[in-house]
Structure 1
């Protein structure tokens, strides 16, 4: 429970146990004299916890300093804000450049790279002297304009902590605030999948059933082509082959979905909440896959960026027991869905970075589950075969407890979209089917190598003790106005067990109450709405309501209620 002294809330310390890599990375960050630090840690290892622990320490050492977090997607903004709240950090995920000055009782904001591109000047003012976290920094290279905007917005920051789930390259323009060696980003601290597996209790061992097939299609040049994934083809033809396999017009994808669902049903016998993810090519493809699953009486949730309720659907799936969720990119990176155990890679995006991020959706270790194995069902495309082989080798080294491990250099990037100049209208699928031999291999879950690799001797994937860590006690940093705010998650108010509302929640509630009082005053006084609001702002001593603190909003509400009583 939070203690109170003289009516003021004394914030409760946050006690966390850092994993060894997180503690080492914090030390490395503390010893880094440069303003920029890049941490590369495998998905599921706990980058968010590391970054927030670093932010709390920095803001505690520099009272009044702001925190700015840049996330890849809208959904992740709220995920970051919720995670920050558990550390006593109050962040606004719905910040807009139109809001003016950030209220003095908020530590900072969470924004996206897309928003940075349109609001770099406003962010530059907010981020001057701030601690900035750039989550999945490689996204600033998605568009040349984004990289320039990130540089403009955050070059005045006091400290910039960049995060990535996998090593990345810059094949065109350099990504801001990152050092390079031969076009490869140079990390200040790196924690790979092999190391995480060896530490036990951090990530799951992932297996890759690869499914071959026979595909036939009409190419844009009019040629009828037939091939399996074993046939050597030009890049252009290989892209067409993959698109044909993933088409709902053929039989390859329905067969693979059936195999994946059978594996999920098996997992759910001992892990009833285990779920599966299908990564689709586009929104229409995602809807078609969900309809296919439902036609077989398999419930499926669809989460695509064109759906305004997508974040709510993801949240419901996260806390529910539905077996499948189908998405394009919304769930492929960063989204925290620990119950995912199966993924079907049904997209034509075949860069190694995207592949590793997709695999990262199923690697998060969950305590209390004995069998931690996860499965990613793949087309046996040579590019995906190469990427998965690297992770398989790391897994085998770790599960056999070998002392020395090494992560090989990243393979070159590819994208299996139709080549430039090709017209989709001239490309058509004739048919596709999964080959029987590979179907049997996939059913055995043998990484398309040999049966029996899932024997207990190799598995070693049972739930165990968390890796030896370092306990850290963090006191929520003071707010920029010099005040304190209690940790919302798990806090008590008045001893009744009710969670302490966050600053943002209090502001939303008070703004709604202020709006209601303003409407009543317009009716009671005959004043215009702008005039009523201007007078309330004057009485409360605020320039605009979007800049008001909780204390100022409460004062504004009190003045409004007094005015309303006089007017009545």
Structure 2
């Protein structure tokens, strides 16, 4: 059955989509994988291929496999714009779809549950199989085996993904791998990364607002631990400090939600009148608690969407078409859901695989018009800071040989002290106290700003950044904000400062390591800002030069000795 839409009325393709389409038709391979950053238009590309293959009678039917039930409906609606009718309600028990459909939309779980049903359908008619976010075919062995068994005889297979890399070593079915120095690496037939999409104006630039703060908790053994988020510590301690930070009983979440709401209000007042916000929570109970906190600190109600809610898809669709401000969800909105007006995010989950992070950030980058920006608030912890700084990096799925021991695990065991709580035994974890502080602003891999307490004028300066700016304008404004912060501190009379310090030295105890580190970071950022002002070099470049000269991690994770060494080095330049 040929699609009932003329070629002239089809949606206009972007440059990368046209190039990928030409490559697809030139090669005419059985398997083709397109890797494009979230928000770039993978669905439109795939449906244009489906339209062409149906029109030229290369295939007779189309099967789309998607990660979630909600996406089945979304695919069906999108396909209708191409004159392709797909059944989103097909069940395994149906065996066959109605004759007036061009095909069906399934989930990976549905295929894995009974692959033989879909194998028979594939053998009965020449099929194009579109594997949306194909990395999910490696989520479990049953899903991967099911997808292979069901579709290995398909006429054509088109694999789509925004993030082909995974955190395990399960091969992804129908993906080509090449030998590389670090193992077998996946090979894309068409690649369109975030960097290219940003240059083309296809996606929005993302401003990351990283918040640190103190976290205090009681372990199962009854020990009380108090650390500063973002400081160097073992993975075990990072995990528990992170967990405390996200606990609704502390003050970190209320303070960050209040700041995120101010950012959203700023965007809506500056031209993005329908801008929406999304809070990604770790679990359903926490999501409900966050809704209560948001109502308490801002007076605003949020739409809470839970995966076990039968009306979840309808509620997401209604939110997308409305002007409501806040949506709270667990994981079901982190991938594939198209809500272009989402412009502010709160990453309030401990999930930190590159795969999940990239898909989550992809909810905020869909561009509607030039100049729109997105802002994502997150805990200032090493795993997330690294992912934020490397957002533009293009990654492949790499399969390495398994070894009996993981070097990272061995290092973690060696570094763990006897009195440090194990993540496996944190059932008695009790959050005692948390608070938030704007630690740094990350934009295009560079860090800006000096730590600022929540609710202060310094924080407001970053929360009030206009929402309609180009990437260059955002960077210029961030540099200006930081110069103003540095200048403000430098103008304080030294004599007054010294006089104020005298009684403190007599009455106050010595600074803790956390306080010393914060003071050194402020001092380092002041010096970096001064050099940037004098030379015109970007802050990120100066920090990178210091790291190259002195070694060590980014300043947020640097030790006291490393910070002092960088300050000394910078003063010598």
TM-score normalised per structure 1: 0.71
Matching of residues 354-503 of structure 1 within 5 Å: 354-367=356-369, 371-391=371-391, 394=392, 407=394, 422-435=424-437, 437-438=451-452, 439=454, 443-445=460-462, 458-459=472-473
Deviation at 1:407, TM superposition (A): 4.5
| Residues 1:132 and 2:134 aligned together | no
2:303 to 301, 304, 325: 301
The 3 A distance-change label for structure 1 pair 25 and 424 is: same
Gaps of 5+ in 2: 400-405, 410-419, 439-450, 476-573
2:151 to 154, 160, 165: 154
Residue 251 (structure 1) aligns with: 251
Gaps of 5+ in 1: 1-7, 395-405, 462-568
Residue 142 (structure 1) aligns with: 139
Residue 192 (structure 1) aligns with: 193
- Alpha-carbon distance in structure 1 between the residues aligned to 2:421 and 2:67: 27
Provide, for residues 478-509 of structure 1, a one-character-per-residue CA deviation record: whole Å limited to 9, x for no partner: xxxxxxxxxxxxxxxxxxxxxxxxxxxxxxxx
**Are the counterparts in 2 of residues 219 and 240 from structure 1 also a CA contact under 8 Å?**
no
**Are the counterparts in 2 of residues 117 and 146 from structure 1 also a CA contact under 8 Å?**
yes
The 3 A distance-change label for structure 1 pair 442 and 153 is: farther
1:332 to 328, 331, 334: 334
- Alpha-carbon distance in structure 2 between the residues aligned to 1:358 and 1:289: 18
- Alpha-carbon distance in structure 2 between the residues aligned to 1:435 and 1:410: 36
**Are the counterparts in 2 of residues 215 and 433 from structure 1 also a CA contact under 8 Å?**
yes
Matching of residues 45-64 of structure 1 within 5 Å: 45-62=40-57
**Are the counterparts in 2 of residues 168 and 184 from structure 1 also a CA contact under 8 Å?**
no
Deviation at 1:226, TM superposition (A): 1.6
- Alpha-carbon distance in structure 1 between the residues aligned to 2:396 and 2:30: 28
Residue 443 (structure 2) aligns with: none
**Are the counterparts in 1 of residues 76 and 85 from structure 2 also a CA contact under 8 Å?**
yes
The 3 A distance-change label for structure 1 pair 232 and 87 is: same
SS in 2 for 1:362: coil
**Are the counterparts in 2 of residues 170 and 184 from structure 1 also a CA contact under 8 Å?**
no
- Alpha-carbon distance in structure 1 between the residues aligned to 2:368 and 2:81: 19
Deviation at 1:445, TM superposition (A): 3.6
- Alpha-carbon distance in structure 2 between the residues aligned to 1:130 and 1:83: 19
**Are the counterparts in 1 of residues 59 and 127 from structure 2 also a CA contact under 8 Å?**
no
Residue 213 (structure 1) aligns with: 213
Provide, for residues 44-98 of structure 1, a one-character-per-residue CA deviation record: whole Å limited to 9, x for no partner: 1000000000111111122661100011100000000000000000000010121
**Are the counterparts in 1 of residues 164 and 395 from structure 2 also a CA contact under 8 Å?**
no
1:173 to 154, 170, 174: 170
The 3 A distance-change label for structure 1 pair 119 and 61 is: same
**Are the counterparts in 2 of residues 299 and 322 from structure 1 also a CA contact under 8 Å?**
no
SS in 2 for 1:17: coil
1:43 to 38, 41, 60: 38
Deviation at 1:199, TM superposition (A): 1.1
**Are the counterparts in 1 of residues 275 and 341 from structure 2 also a CA contact under 8 Å?**
yes
**Are the counterparts in 2 of residues 208 and 445 from structure 1 also a CA contact under 8 Å?**
no
Provide, for residues 105-155 of structure 1, a one-character-per-residue CA deviation record: whole Å limited to 9, x for no partner: 211000101111112110111123310000001111112211111111111
2:112 to 84, 93, 117: 117
SS in 2 for 1:422: helix
SS in 1 for 2:10: strand
Higher helix share: 2
Deviation at 1:232, TM superposition (A): 1.6
The 3 A distance-change label for structure 1 pair 117 and 64 is: same
Deviation at 1:228, TM superposition (A): 1.4
Deviation at 1:166, TM superposition (A): 2.1
- Alpha-carbon distance in structure 2 between the residues aligned to 1:248 and 1:48: 37
Residue 467 (structure 1) aligns with: none
TM-score normalised per structure 2: 0.70
- Alpha-carbon distance in structure 1 between the residues aligned to 2:6 and 2:160: 28
Q: Which has the higher contact order (CA 8 A, sep 6+)?
A: 1
SS in 1 for 2:106: strand
SS in 1 for 2:171: coil
- Alpha-carbon distance in structure 2 between the residues aligned to 1:184 and 1:343: 32
Deviation at 1:222, TM superposition (A): 4.0
Deviation at 1:11, TM superposition (A): 4.6
- Alpha-carbon distance in structure 1 between the residues aligned to 2:210 and 2:341: 22
SS in 2 for 1:102: coil
Aligned CA-pair RMSD? 3.0
- Alpha-carbon distance in structure 2 between the residues aligned to 1:30 and 1:332: 32
The 3 A distance-change label for structure 1 pair 127 and 347 is: same
- Alpha-carbon distance in structure 2 between the residues aligned to 1:160 and 1:457: 37
Greater mean alpha carbon deviation, residues 265-274 or residues 178-187? 178-187
